[in-house]
């Protein structure tokens, strides 16, 4: 099942410092979480992230799973090239009911990583083949990225920003969910708002949206 994990402000530990660790760290950096990498060696990208204080780094070879009790993370991602170490970590994390992911063990991991297309951090599209072919996910992502550029427009992104604002107000000011929905749809399909967005007058579009909302009966 594809869901969006909420890991805001949580402590996430990544074991290993190679290519896989780098991919996982890059995804985690898009969330507002605390990332600790533990590895005996790290590649230059991870070293730079630590230097820039984007992540915490512990240069250490993991031999047992004591670090789990000591650091009490919300989630562990293990990416070492040592299958036994990865398995030990998975077993212990499961015992402690900690969310765990192992790069070499999709079957025992609590989640998977789809290929992701991102539009302005506002719309994310995930492509997933259920573990059958990661390489094909990557290829389809490339094809979709090109096609979607003409479908998900700058105007759509502006509408999302406006909806975020009016939706918050609507939740407080319009008590009936069906009415709320109707009002939000009206704002989404308002020709004047569309035109203002196209003319680059986003603030005016926002104002008009709020006016429609305030006048809603
Ligand atoms: C989509 C993407 C997202 C990401 O990684 O963030 C992703 N793999 C990507 C690329 C990629 N990975 C691999 C290759 C080499 C060719 C090949 O093997 O096909 C390539 C292609 C390349 O690099 O060109 C090797 C590989 N991958 C996995 C294993 C282990 C195994 O199968 O047991 C091995 C063997 C390792 C080895 O040989 O030792 C497992 C998984 N990889 C997944 C995701 C999950 C299933 C996704 C799905 O079902 O679609 C899953 C199950 C992990 C999970 O659960 O999360 C990302 C592209 C995104 C992008 O570029 O935007
Ligand atoms: N899920 C995927 O999409 C995917 C893709 C490619 C590879 N893989 C798998 O991911 C694993 C790692 O791949 P990689 O390319 O990052 O390998 P890598 O060799 O580049 O990195 C391995 C890292 O683990 C560290 N490490 C090893 N043993 C350790 C220990 N005991 N304690 C702490 N750190 C330790 C090493 O120092 C190194 O930094 C492999 O098992 C590979 O099969 C998965």
Could you report the predicted ipTM of this complex, rounded to two decimals?
Answer: 0.93
Please name which of 157, 125, 159, 160 lies closest in space to residue 143, comparing C-alpha atoms. Answer: 125
Each of the 217 residues of the chain gets a pLDDT tens digit; together they read: 889 999 999 999 999 999 999 999 999 999 999 999 999 999 999 999 999 999 999 999 999 999 999 999 999 999 999 999 999 999 999 999 999 999 999 999 999 999 999 999 999 999 999 999 999 999 999 999 999 999 999 999 999 999 999 999 999 999 999 999 999 999 999 999 999 999 999 999 999 999 999 999 7
Question: Tokens 């008009």 map to which residue?
Answer: 208
Centroid of ligand 1 to alpha carbon of 27 (angstroms): 14
Q: What homologous superfamily is domain 11-113 in, according to CATH?
A: NAD(P)-binding Rossmann-like Domain (3.40.50.720)
Q: How high is the pLDDT of residue 59?
A: 97
**pLDDT at position 217, please?**
78
pLDDT of amino acid 134: 96
Q: Is the CB of 16 under 6 A from ligand 2?
A: yes
Tell me phi and psi for residue 39, to 5 degrees: -165, 150
106 lines ligand 1 (CB under 6 A): yes
Ligand 2 pocket mutation, candidates 26, 55, 79, criterion most atoms within 8 A of CB? 79
Which of 134, 136, 141 is the pocket-test mutation for ligand 1 (most atoms within 8 Å of CB)? 134
Q: What is the pLDDT of residue 126?
A: 96
At a CB cut-off of 8 Å and minimum separation 6, what does 106 contact? 112, 131
Judge contact between 163 and 184, C-beta under 8 A: yes
142 lines ligand 1 (CB under 6 A): no
CA of 81 to the centre of ligand 1 (A): 15
d(CA 189, CA 159): 10
Q: Is the CB of 82 under 6 A from ligand 2?
A: yes
> According to the model, what pLDDT value does residue 45 have?
98
79 Cβ neighbours under 8 A, 6+ residues apart: 14, 15, 16, 18, 20, 21, 24, 86, 102, 103
Tell me the CA–centroid distance for residue 113 and ligand 2, in Å.
16
Atom of ligand 1 nearest to the CA of 106: 55
Q: Which residues contact 120 (CB under 8 A, 6 or more apart)?
A: 157
Q: Domain residue spans in the chain?
A: 11-113, 118-152, 154-214
Distances (CA, A) of 91 to 12, 66, 111, 137: 17, 13, 15, 29
Q: For residue 111, report the distance from its CA to the centre of ligand 1, in Å.
A: 13
């Amino acid at each position: 099942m594809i869901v969006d994990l909420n890991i805001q402000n949580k402590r996430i530990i990544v074991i290993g410092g190679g290519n896989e660790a780098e991919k996982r760290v890059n995804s985690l950096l898009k969330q507002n979480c605390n990332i600790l990498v533990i590895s005996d060696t790290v590649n230059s990208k991870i070293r730079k992230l630590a230097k820039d204080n984007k992540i915490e780094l512990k240069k250490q070879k993991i031999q047992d799973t004591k670090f789990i009790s000591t650091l009490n993370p919300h989630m562990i991602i293990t990416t070492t090239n040592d299958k036994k170490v990865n398995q030990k970590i998975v077993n212990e994390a499961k015992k402690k009911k900690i969310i765990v992911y192992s790069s070499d063990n999709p079957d025992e991991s609590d989640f998977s990583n789809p290929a992701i297309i991102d539009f302005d951090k506002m719309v994310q599209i995930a492509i997933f083949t259920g573990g059958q072919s990661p390489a094909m996910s990557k290829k389809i992502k490339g094809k979709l990225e090109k096609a979607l550029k003409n479908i998900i427009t700058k105007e759509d992104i502006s509408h999302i920003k406006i909806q975020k604002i009016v939706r918050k107000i609507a939740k407080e000011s319009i008590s009936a969910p069906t009415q709320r929905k109707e009002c939000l749809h009206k704002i989404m399909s308002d020709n004047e708002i569309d035109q203002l967005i196209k003319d680059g007058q986003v603030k005016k579009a926002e104002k008009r949206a709020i006016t429609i909302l305030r006048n809603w009966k």
